[in-house]
Structure 1
Amino acid sequence: MAMDGYKGFLGLLVSSLLVGFLSVIFTLIWVLHYREGLGWDGTALEFNWHPALMVTGFVFIQGIAIIVYRLPWTWKCSKLLMKSIHAGLHTIAAILLLLGVFIFLLPWAPLSLRAFVMPMHVYSGLLIFGTVIAAALMGVTEKLFFALNSSGYNKFPPEGVFTNTLGLLMVLYGALIFWIVTRPQWQRPKEPNSVLLQPNGGAQEGVGSLTVNFSNVDAPDSKLNHEASARKRNFTADEVGQRSTM
């Protein structure tokens, strides 16, 4: 399927993935080189798992989970498959949005409820993503304040410059994800079989589902009945004509 501004989308997507991957690499370099590595022995090295896992899961993987619906190469895949991938990535990132799982993934949720909750689902997800990045930035800065207290954080030591670069990468990654996911021209096309009953019988397109006019739902059957009746009439007329010539 064609996408408006495909080259721009592709450029932003590659840039976001590159920046996000660099954020993970910078985090690992920081904890392995500047913070003496990782440990699971009850020492202070156990804390180093926290920034490594938080940036990798809460920031990088969650960002990918947010934009997975925007990938035009997946538009031919079923919506259920993309929902499963979306939920799986959030599971890996330890951000299981319970509202999204119970309302959008499970099949028995009414379509009207999905359409009503979809805007809250989208924007609350972006809000959580933004607050996660803010929490990661504050956590890294707090760690630097305590770790570089003796050497002087305000004197721009190498570790401070390196870690602040990590912070800029996380902010840039979040900005790219926000930009990609808020562009209406890059939304996944609505599926024809995703319909929502409208009380007034009117056609309306919602945020997360395709709504149609249900007054025409029986049109195919009516058309078939009409064609069958027409064939029956034609057959009757031909039969009468044949009999009249005998």
Structure 2
Amino acid sequence: MSSLNELEDMEKLRGLSWMVALSQGLGITMVILMGVWLNTYMGGFAWDGSGKEFNLHPLCMICGMVFLYGEAALVYRVFRQTEKLKAKIIHASLLLLAFIAIVVGLVAVFQFHHKMHITNMYSLHSWFGMITVLLFCLQFLLGFLSFLLPGARPSIRSFYLPLHQFFGGGILTLAVISVISGINEKLFFKYKGTGYSKLPASAVIANVCGLVTIGFVLTILYIIQKKEWQRKPASAEEEESLAIHFQPISGHGTDTE
């Protein structure tokens, strides 16, 4: 019976491997398409307040809010056998990289608007995007305080974990909506009155990038919601080691995420 259960677990994990591989292919393709679109058809990149600096905004946002955030969401599915604390550090490190990319992207767009005397936060895309960023920052902060900061009470972790998981998927969904609306807005500005309906090569690449982004996010959401692929609860020994790790600072508590 034990060997039969092991075979069933292997079959389930084989499906996980294929889905993770698919997500990585879509994610890398998404970033490449965005980079090619901006570099080839939108003028490239610079840090001079021009449209080239603005191009850093969509690239950084899709790398941070979508790709790196999606990668962070996969950590507890991919590193199933890794120690819980190490998995937490990998998860937090990816989120930190995402945060840095987001900050660079926001600075780029605000500097461009300032130099070109363009009003900030005037479109639905900008409102939606800023709400998504603020939720990401709040999620990052609360996650650190609840799951990584020594001294957090187990009861707080247990209470916040379902909310953390829910908003994780929700923020990723909001991020893809922000990306799609941003791509569409940029195309309308670029081809306003000049034949967007003729579908030039730039529009084709941008539209395909949008579709791949949706595919990437849907794949991530499918992986993280599938119960059979969730990481098994930490063993008593692992929980004890985490408690010992936190003991010098907090004096009590275990990690129940």
TM bin, normalised by shorter chain, reads 0.7 to 0.9
Residue of structure 2 equivalent to 1:55:
62
Q: Which runs of structure 2 are paired with 1:103-114 in the superposition (5 Å)?
A: 103-114=146-157
Q: Which of 83, 86, 91 is 1:81 aligned to?
A: 86
* Offset, 1:173: 0.2
Matched residues in 1 for 2:194 and 2:52: separation? Answer: 20
Does 1:160 find its partner at 2:203? yes
* Offset, 1:150: 3.5
**Structure 2 residues without counterparts, runs of 5 or longer:** 1-5, 100-135, 241-254
List, as ranges, runs of 4+ consecutive aligned residues in structure 1 with deviation greater than 3 Å.
1-4
Residue of structure 1 equivalent to 2:110:
none
Does 1:101 find its partner at 2:158? no
Per-residue displacement from partner, 1:119-159 (whole Å, max 9, x unpaired)? Answer: 00001111111111111111111000000114211222221
Between 1 and 2, higher relative CO (CA 8 Å, sep ≥ 6) is seen in 2
Residue of structure 1 equivalent to 2:216:
173
**Structure 1 residues without counterparts, runs of 5 or longer:** 196-207, 211-246
Q: Which runs of structure 2 are paired with 1:1-246 in the superposition (5 Å)?
A: 2-3=9-10, 5-71=12-78, 74-94=79-99, 95-96=136-137, 97-193=140-236, 194=239, 209=256
Which structure would you say has the larger Rg? 1
Matched residues in 1 for 2:66 and 2:22: separation? Answer: 15
The residue type equivalent to 1:11 in the other structure is W
Identity among equivalent positions (%) equals 35
Matched residues in 2 for 1:12 and 1:86: separation? Answer: 19
Matched residues in 2 for 1:209 and 1:39: separation? Answer: 45
The residue type equivalent to 1:155 in the other structure is K
* Offset, 1:39: 1.3
Structure with the bigger percentage of helix: 2
Question: Which shifted more, 166-175 or 149-158?
Answer: 149-158
TM-score by length of structure 2 reads 0.72
Please tell me whether the aligned partners of residues 126 and 178 of structure 1 are also in contact (alpha carbons under 8 angstroms): yes
Distance 1:32 1:137, change over 3 A: same
Matched residues in 2 for 1:121 and 1:103: separation? Answer: 10
* Offset, 1:109: 0.8
Please tell me whether the aligned partners of residues 4 and 185 of structure 1 are also in contact (alpha carbons under 8 angstroms): no
Aligned length: 196
Matched residues in 2 for 1:121 and 1:69: separation? Answer: 13
CA-based RMSD of the aligned residues comes to 1.8
Per-residue displacement from partner, 1:66-110 (whole Å, max 9, x unpaired)? Answer: 011001xx3332111110110010010015511100001112111
Matched residues in 2 for 1:141 and 1:20: separation? Answer: 20
Please tell me whether the aligned partners of residues 3 and 186 of structure 1 are also in contact (alpha carbons under 8 angstroms): no
The residue type equivalent to 2:97 in the other structure is I
* Offset, 1:56: 1.2
